[in-house]
Structure 1
Amino acid sequence: MSPVVHGPRLNLTQVTTLRELTRRGTLAAAADHLGYTPGAVSQHLASLEAALGVNLVQRAGRHLVLTDAGRVMADHAEGLLAAEARAVSATRAAREQVAGPLVVGTWGSTAAGLLAPVVARLGEAFPDVVVTSREVDLDAVSVAVRHGEVDVAFGLDYVDAPIPRDRGVARTLLEPEEFAVAVATGSLPPGSRGGRRRTATPELLRDLDWILPPEGTQYGRALRSGLRRRDVEPRVVHEVTDTAASLQLAAAGLGATLTTPLMLRLGTRSADDLTTLRMADPVTRRIVLLARRDVEQRQPVRVFVEEARTVVDRLLAALTW
């Protein structure tokens, strides 16, 4: 293969100087229009000649005039600078245009429960935004965003186990959710107030077997820490990360788990299978959206965040215990 031979690299500031000399007729007039000194204009022309390896101007008495090569270059200068203007205009327009690719990081049930309705709304309002998704590890969402593996990602933030803060990653907080205790219907001793909508006391919680995520996960740390701060040391009999699986085990009477209204909806469990117990001082979580600070103002990212906020707000407003 023949080696690639690179030609001279043109400096557009120097090309602009040549164009203005051609338009204004004198070095002094070109310098005045450009806001340079005559010496700076001469230096621009000399540097352009050095890059091209030809003389572009020559002395004719007290004035500079274009050589034949200079006239050829001046003709091309108009096209080069017009192309630059078009490129700048198109780039700035792209910044304002709501269009382009968008890679969204999801995990677990968010793909169906949150991503699908957000993409549906986005497609109606902004059909030129092309959304693709990639599953990411929930405990490493910030890393995936920071490394540019995804443009924006869903995450979870807990008071009892905050998501790691990263100065290069912007967080958008969505609506908070309260956890309640979910147990199989009919599995609790009778006699408490509230029927199937009981309030869980610390004494009751200490007597339960628990289905919780592994303690090595952010989710598992958050739930255990939340229970311990409420004077409950959970007796864990099943470690499960998946929401649907933990609800299925709870519905089968194998223990209690913590859930939110949105988790119940995404877990597709029938309300008849589970009884929820409110907590006087509930553990909470917050759905967040993460994006790198250098891309958070890209229009596709911005409108995705806006649509996701609307979807989550409406979902949570419609879901109650």
Structure 2
Amino acid sequence: MKWTFEQLKTFKVVAELGTMTAAAEALGFTAGAVSQQMASLQGSVPRPLFARDGRRVALTDAGKTLLHHAAVLIEDERQAAAALSGPQAGQRAVVSVGVFGSAAVSAMQPAIGRLRETSPNVAVQAVEVDVETMPQAIQESRIDIALGLNYEDAPQPPLRGVVSQVLHREPFLMVLPPAAHELVRDDRLLMEYANDCDWILPPVDTYFGRACRFACARSGIEPNVQHLVTDTAVSIALAESGIGVTLATPLMMGLRPTAAPTAVLPGKSTRSIVAIVRSSALERDSVRAVRDALVHAFSQPPKLG
């Protein structure tokens, strides 16, 4: 059956008004044009649609069946057109956001709050993703946009069709055992201590582990890594207990506040929180709104605890 949408809309008007002439006047067509459309529609179906009733047309059972379905299709088309051309608030969209620990705690609440003000039609679905595989998850369209990491001493290789925007930069901090509290005031003694003591770092085959070692090298420290720990909270707890020195950042320490002494790692190494998204996804108003909300979230003073 090869009817057209215009034929169905004309058919509905004919059925409602009862004559081809009245339908033509209502639609702004000629009576001949309406008659031709109805002849084409009739030719596309196997059963008669109309029965003559004097000068008027009446619907057969087949015609009434088609009218019911045509009305549904026409209403669906009207609602779709209204949703696409109406105000933004009428278009609800769900955007999946890849998140990881410290960035999620800092950004998601203010970002969602911002969206409620600027784009109440946009809903966010947070999805926890391993930060090391976040760019691939974006490239494979498993998530729409993500909070990711980039370390200046160990930059991520670019991926085709994926772009990133820096949201926040923060320094590396040395988290020291309590016994090293006085050393924080003397850079020379602190450096000597850092080169002699035990360290707690992630394995070298992890992204953060490599970044830590590059940052230490830039600072002039050769860490004596005795403990391989991936979980930042555990590393900080071990440093606090006197086991050794570890590295963290201000946002990381928001997940595990500590009274242990800290000092900025020499060398000015930093890590960046970035928004990662496919270029094509930025054509969606909803994804751009989420990205802008994340930018706004990180423009505010971060909540560290």
TM-score, with normalisation over the residues of structure 2? 0.70
Aligned to 1:213: 202
Segment drifting more, 241-250 vs 111-120: 111-120
Task: Report how far residue 15 of structure 1 moved.
Answer: 6.8
Task: Report how far residue 263 of structure 1 moved.
Answer: 2.0
Partners of 2:169 and 2:188 lie apart in 1 by 20
Aligned to 1:298: 284
Matches within 5 A, 1:134-149: 134-149=127-142
Contact kept, 8 Å, 2:218 with 2:269, in 1: the verdict is no
Q: Which of the pair is proportionally richer in helix?
A: 2
2:88 is equivalent to residue 102 of structure 1:
no
Aligned to 1:64: none
TM-score, with normalisation over the residues of structure 1? 0.67
Q: What do the CA deviations read for 1:82-106 (whole angstroms, capped 9, x no partner)?
A: 7535423323447675743232222
Task: Report how far residue 313 of structure 1 moved.
Answer: 2.4
Contact kept, 8 Å, 1:181 with 1:200, in 2: the verdict is no
Segment drifting more, 137-146 vs 88-97: 88-97
Matches within 5 A, 1:170-185: 170-185=163-178
Aligned to 2:53: none
2:243 is equivalent to residue 275 of structure 1:
no
Contact kept, 8 Å, 2:173 with 2:262, in 1: the verdict is no
- Output the aligned Cα RMSD: 4.2
The number of residue pairs the alignment matches comes to 283
2:171 maps to amino acid: E
Q: 1:89 aligns with which of 48, 62, 82?
A: 82
Task: Report how far residue 124 of structure 1 moved.
Answer: 5.3
Aligned to 1:195: 185
Structure 2 gap ranges (5+): 14-19, 50-58
Contact kept, 8 Å, 2:172 with 2:264, in 1: the verdict is no
Change (3 A) 1:169 1:55: farther
Q: What do the CA deviations read for 1:301-321 (whole angstroms, capped 9, x no partner)?
A: 3333222222222235x88xx
Q: What do the CA deviations read for 1:272-300 (whole angstroms, capped 9, x no partner)?
A: x2231441x22111101223333334344
Give the match's secondary structure for 1:144: helix
Contact kept, 8 Å, 1:146 with 1:168, in 2: the verdict is yes
Contact kept, 8 Å, 2:95 with 2:286, in 1: the verdict is yes
Contact kept, 8 Å, 1:152 with 1:290, in 2: the verdict is yes
Partners of 2:263 and 2:220 lie apart in 1 by 20
1:169 maps to amino acid: V
Change (3 A) 1:141 1:252: same
Aligned to 1:243: 232
Report the identity percentage: 32
Contact kept, 8 Å, 2:90 with 2:121, in 1: the verdict is no
Contact kept, 8 Å, 1:170 with 1:296, in 2: the verdict is no
Give the match's secondary structure for 2:176: strand
Contact kept, 8 Å, 1:108 with 1:242, in 2: the verdict is no
Segment drifting more, 203-212 vs 283-292: 203-212
Change (3 A) 1:124 1:87: closer
2:154 is equivalent to residue 161 of structure 1:
yes
1:284 maps to amino acid: T
